[in-house]
């Protein structure tokens, strides 16, 4: 899951969380997968309020650094 998090007074955070069941997680060619970036995605088989099933949830904590809030200009490189 890719994220771009913006909060005034903090540096913009661009990150991603990896699924531990991905068959390629141990062969990441960019060596970017660390334990802190592996999420515990939880499958829910009962419908959510909109009637969607199955659906997944993720409880993940992001830590932001205080600083100037500057959005990147596309394309992000």
> In angstroms, how far is CA 36 from the centroid of its own chain?
11
pLDDT in tens, 1-58: 999 999 999 999 999 898 988 888 888 766 778 888 899 999 999 999 899 999 999 9
Structure tokens at 46: 């009962």
Residue 35 — φ and ψ, nearest 5°? Answer: -60, -35
pTM for the model stands at 0.71
Domain boundaries, the chain: 2-57
Token match 């009637």: residue?
Answer: 51
C-alpha span between 4 and 15 (Å, rounded) = 7
DSSP code, position 1: -
Residue 11 — φ and ψ, nearest 5°? Answer: -65, 145
Amino acid 77: pLDDT: 66
Amino acid 5: pLDDT: 95
């Amino acid at each position: 899951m890719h994220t771009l998090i913006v909060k005034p007074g903090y540096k913009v955070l661009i990150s991603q969380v990896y699924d531990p069941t991905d068959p390629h997680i141990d062969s990441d060619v960019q060596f970017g997968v660390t334990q802190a970036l592996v999420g515990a995605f939880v499958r829910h088989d009962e419908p959510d309020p909109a009637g969607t099933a199955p659906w997944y949830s993720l409880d993940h904590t992001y830590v932001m650094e205080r600083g100037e809030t500057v959005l990147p200009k596309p394309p992000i490189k």
